[in-house]
Amino acid sequence: MDMSGKTAIVTGGASGIGKAVAEALHARGAKIAIADLNAQAAAATGKALGGFGEVVDVGNEAALTRFINKVERTLGPVDFYISNAGLGVTDGPGWGAGDAPNAAWDLCWQVNVMASVFAARHLARRLAARQGHFVITASAAGLLAQIGDAPYSATKAAAVSFAECLAITHGDDGLNVHCLCPEGVNTPLVQGIEGGAQGLGGYLEPEEVAEALLKAMEERRFLVMTHANTPAYVATKGQDRDRWVGGMRKLRRMLVEKLGRPM
């Protein structure tokens, strides 16, 4: 895919999947604008990739809109929007599915869901007119579940649903929507989490996820599952939800035994 002269915004783009996607886009010719909470890393990454980077709270619609407007004034009309910023919080301290405090639920909702809504509200129709691409980094947790983090699972499921809505509503107008759903990836989000992605069957490097996404973009595919086993898991869940829940309960028991604490 030739992206020469095109403009891309990547949120959460100073590290992890976001940075790898930004680098892959730039390698194909795109100018990159980085939105991240890490000011120094955002600025350095944006400058290195032919554009700029700034601190942006993507859960704040006004702040995100100001950033998008600045990007279009500075680098030109946006052709690729990568809504990648995200976070998880865990269910602790009681490790019940509703135990995370309201503030944690609210923050996950704003960042994992509403940040994409805000960007789409501002850009979807203009991107459609240019046959542009809107990527939402959800998670395999949004298709399946993440044991020990109900806010993450619930909001990533909502992110998948919003991506579907975006594709259904604007696909006929020319908007290319992609929903990225990786399992474990070697990023700051999972590093240091005991019993995390590596313990459950391995993780990919961010660069591998980025290449899988760009291949899907070239092929105009909506759902991007980066791990080999994910499609089978999704199919199993869809065929027999009761069996799936029972299997996940068994997996949780195994993890509790392994870690010596609830999750």
**Across the beta sheet with 176-180, what order do the strands follow?**
52-55, 31-36, 7-11, 78-83, 133-137, 176-180, 223-224
For 51, the domain range is 7-230
In a domain, 191, yes or no: yes
State how far Cα 66 lies from the chain centre.
21
Spatial CB neighbours of 7, under 8 Å, sequence gap ≥ 6: 30, 31, 33, 51, 71, 72, 75, 76, 77, 78, 79, 80
Tokens coding 135: 């990527």
Q: Which residue(s) pair with 177 in the sheet?
A: 134
In a domain, 239, yes or no: no
Average pLDDT over every residue of 34-42: 97
Asked if residue 199 has pLDDT above 50, the reply is no
Closest of 135, 36, 74, 57 to residue 44, by C-alpha = 36
In a domain, 89, yes or no: yes
In a domain, 261, yes or no: no
In a domain, 206, yes or no: yes
- The pLDDT tens digits for 48-95 are 999 999 999 999 999 999 999 999 999 999 999 999 999 888 877 666
In a domain, 251, yes or no: no
How many domains, the chain? Answer: 1
3-state helix, strand, coil in the chain (%, to 5): 50, 15, 35
Q: Which residue(s) pair with 178 in the sheet?
A: 135
Asked if residue 218 has pLDDT above 70, the reply is yes
Closest of 29, 25, 1, 27 to residue 13, by C-alpha = 25
In a domain, 2, yes or no: no
- The pLDDT tens digits for 134-170 are 999 999 999 999 888 999 999 999 999 999 999 999 9
For position 198, what pLDDT does the model report?
41
In a domain, 253, yes or no: no
Tokens coding 127: 């991107």
Domain holding 183: CATH number? 3.40.50.720
